[in-house]
A and B are shown apart, each in its own frame.
Chain A
Amino acid sequence: MVNAVWLFLLVTGIMTAAISGRIDIVTTSAMEAAKIGVETAIGLVGVMSLWLGLMRLAEAAGMVRALARVVQPFTRWLFPSVPKEHPALGAIILNISANILGLGNAATPFGLKAMEELQKLNAGKDEASEAMCTFLALNTSAITLIPATIIGVRVKAGSANPSEIIGTTIFATSCAMLVAITADFLFRRAGGTRR
């Protein structure tokens, strides 16, 4: 599916630019995006190093395993393919917690650590494992209790009650999470559609 979507974005984008007589935009956008890609990745180096260093410390102290043990009742049915007390589970929980608290900077390194641990358990190395799909379904639909950025925008726009949307946001994101977990369960049981 990712191949089809990637091609779709490219083809429709270039066609639209061509038809509207703004073909130059394709060149500038492509070059600029390539640069942004590198800058984004390099921009991650600092926080990645910091959090991966701390993660290694937490692991060496046995804290990641301890955390994995605490959350085992949840992770056992969400990630049946991951051995209990595996460090991947600790990293997954740290990632989801950071997301819930709106700590984006810490969430990404924890998430990438979780992916690294899950990859160690993965048989097909260039193919996503079931546990990875479950983790990303959780991650992309996870609840942020306080959507700080958008509240900031609302304050700036002069809202009478900027945080009024917290309740509706939590409702919508809970629905998304519920559907994602259910669908993931069904995909897993069906053996997954391979594409």
Chain B
Amino acid sequence: MKVIAEISRWAIPAFLLLVPVIAYLRKVKVYEVFVTGAEDGFWTAVKIIPYLVGMLVAIKIFVDSGAIEILAAGLKPLFNLLGLRHDLVQIIPLAIMRPLSGSGALGVATQVITEHGPDSFLGKLASTMQGSTDTTFFVLTVYFGSVGVKKYRYALKLGLLADLTGLIASIYIVSKIFG
């Protein structure tokens, strides 16, 4: 783990050093080419705005209205029906929030961890869930938005399927190892 942390620390400085040096050795006009590439940064970012505004407005209304709690309450019987341990229902809001909002999910996870303790079953489960899945909606919105793709085809299904798998796998492995 120490090794990986060190690689993470050195990756960006190494990239910043090696790319210009190697480019220079290969007779590239380094500064001029860098600036030409950097010019695209602004427009790429600006192109994302309509997509991001559309998606964030819908997500924020959904989250702030408390609809997640209602949805979570609706899912409780399903959890009981499946015969899962009953404290798992406390994790439903995090499971719904995770693909929608990165900051929202971190907030919910932090709350679960402080409330139940970081070394409790729920604390470990929330930590594992937070680390193992991504904010699918945000990623799709930004990535597709930057190239003007409006029709996502099966990409959203794939992303949500990955999130669901991450959730089930988290519950399974945390129950098995720490349960």
Contact = CB atoms under 8 A, between A and B. Distances in A.
Interface in B60-85: 60-67, 70-71
23 contacts: A9-B62, A48-B41, A49-B42, A50-B38, A51-B41, A52-B40, A53-B36, A54-B34, A56-B36, A57-B20, A57-B23, A60-B23, A61-B22, A122-B149, A136-B139, A140-B140, A141-B133, A149-B106, A150-B127, A154-B113, A165-B131, A166-B1, A168-B174
B173 A172 contact: yes
A12 B67 contact: yes
B35 to A, nearest CB: 7
A184 B158 contact: yes
B146 A112 contact: yes
A175 B56 contact: no
A52 B38 contact: yes
Interface of B: 1, 4-5, 7-8, 11-12, 15-16, 19-20, 22-23, 26, 28, 30, 33-42, 44-46, 48-49, 52-67, 70-71, 100, 106, 109-110, 113-114, 117-119, 123-124, 127-134, 136, 139-140, 142-144, 146-159, 161-163, 165-166, 168-170, 173-174, 177-178
A70 interface: no
A153 B166 CA distance: 20
B85 to A, nearest CB: 16
A9 B61 contact: yes
Name which of A56, A149, A162 has the most chain B CB atoms within 10 A of its CB: A56
B162 A57 contact: no
Name which of B1, B113, B165, B174 has the most chain A CB atoms within 10 A of its CB: B165
Contacts of B11: 98, 101, 103, 106
Contacts of A179: 161-162, 165
Contacts of A145: 4
Contact of A5 (B22, B26, B36, B156): B156
A104 B133 CA distance: 14
Contact of B19 (A29, A63, A126, A137): A63
Given A6-B54, A47-B41, A154-B118, 8 more contacts: A22-B65, A22-B66, A53-B35, A112-B143, A127-B153, A136-B139, A137-B155, A139-B139
Name which of A22, A140, A154, A162 has the most chain B CB atoms within 10 A of its CB: A140
Question: What does DSSP make chain A's interface, helix, strand, loop or mixed?
Answer: helix
Contacts of A78: none
A150 to B, nearest CB: 5
Contact of B56 (A20, A34, A127, A161): A34
B34 A57 contact: yes
Contact of A25 (B64, B124, B178): B64
A93 interface: no
A101 B19 contact: no
B41 to A, nearest CB: 3
B170 A172 contact: yes
Nearest to B11: A101
> What are the 8 closest A-B residue pairs judged by CB atoms, nearest first?
A56-B37, A49-B41, A147-B131, A53-B38, A159-B118, A48-B41, A13-B61, A37-B53
B22 A173 contact: no
A38 to B, nearest CB: 6
Contacts of B143: 111-112, 115, 132, 136, 139
A51 to B, nearest CB: 8
B45 A48 contact: yes
A39 B22 CA distance: 35
Contacts of B55: 6, 37
